[in-house]
Amino acid sequence: MKKYFKIIFVILIIFIITPKNIYADDENEIYENVIEDEEKIEIEAAATTGTKPTINSRKYCVYDRLSGKCIYGKDENKETAMASTTKIMTAIIIVENCNLNEIVTVTSKAANTGGSRLGLHIDDKISVNDLLYGLMLRSGNDAAVALAIHLSKSIENFAILMNNKAEELGLKNTHFVTPHGLDNNEHYTTALELAKITDYALKNDIIAKIVNTKSTTISINGDRMNINNTNELLGNVEGVYGVKTGFTNNAGRCLVTSVKRGDMDLIVVVLGADTRKDRAKDTIKLIEYITKNFFVVNLEESVNKEFEQWKLINQNRIYINKASNNLELKLGEMKIKGIVTNQEPIIEINALTYLEAPILENEKIGTLTVKINDEIIEEIEILTSEKVEKRNILDYLYIISKIYAGKIKII
């Protein structure tokens, strides 16, 4: 009997010291008041004084959707695990490649996926649309695998689609292995690139609607099931309209939040927080600090005004040798029309002062540069708006006739 007790004791010790499976977003509880009202007031008051927030999260990024820039961050370009925020990309792939009314039959691989679950079983019948809600609200790893296998027959094939989309979006430091985000050394992104993925996702009305849903009812095998959103800020913080929570032991607590206040439309990414409360507080701190200390600049208006003033003084000072007509200038394409910033932009214009005719239409003769905090935000080409011809014999005869008529004086 003592021998059996020893065996049981050894098994228990092994079970205790052996690392448990690391699950993505292993939290289905809903906490309505992660941050108490008193704490929110303190955070808002600190932001009003212009005090920079103290952030617990190891990496973060405040992304301005207007300019496509990270306007405030820490280690936002450093590769890191991102847990269930992975599912933002999963949703993109599914919405762009599937009919939402299609019925999915749940495989054993999907049904046996651990961690945060929607609660699927083998051979369950559920629509793609309802799986998407289970994916983004309940953070179901089983829903992620069911969707991946439905579309691509395997997780590996689905990961190829995810990585192709990342490449299409110009992401250099992102790589996907799974549709759910369970820890894997080859599965990573950055706070900035996760913000870019989110920005792209929110341009899709279907995804935008799903992540802004606090609770809904789905159907599995014809049976109705109520599910709630794991996003603790949705419905509790002014202007928040998404997006996704996440957690693994390696990634820590993660939260991607979209928030709109006035003319500001921001995506706040916090990765590697120690607790659920920390990630919520960090996000609120960043939202309050930016919205109270930054402002929206209409770059297009500022640039056009500066350029027109510059042209009045400088356009006629540009000498074109042997030109038969006057030079007219315009600005090329402007990519960033506006930006959220805490500094007024500095606009610098540099152009050639001597040219040789002929000059083609749309020929570059200078650059307008926009800087904020010594960072180049935009470089716009200064172009010729029409062709400048080279003088021919008739032009010279015309000039000579003007001289003889006394209309042109030679000094």
- Close Cβ partners of 100 (under 8 Å, ≥ 6 residues apart): 127, 128, 129, 132, 206
Which of the residues 69, 87, 165, 196 is marked catalytic?
87
Rg (CA), the chain: 29
The DSSP bridge partners found for residue 63 are: 70, 267
Residue 87 Cα distances to 52, 124, 264, angstroms:
31, 21, 25
Pick the catalytic residue: 84, 116, 152, 258? 84
Cβ-proximal residues to 375 (8 Å cutoff; 6+ apart), any chain: none
Q: Say whether 203 is catalytic.
A: no
Q: Which helix (H) or strand (E) holds 7?
A: helix 2-17
- Please state, in angstroms and as integers, the Cα–Cα distance from residue 170 to each residue in 76, 156, 193, 200, 266, following that order: 16, 21, 9, 12, 20
Residue 385 known to be catalytic: no
Quote the crossing angle between the two packed helices 37-48 and 276-293, to the nearest 10°: 30
Reply yes or no on whether 84 is catalytic: yes
From 67, 139, 152, 258, active-site residue: 139
The β-bridge relationship of strands 252-261 and 240-248 is antiparallel
Going by their DSSP bridges, the two strands 354-356 and 319-321 should be labelled as: parallel
Give the residue numbers marked as catalytic: 84, 87, 139
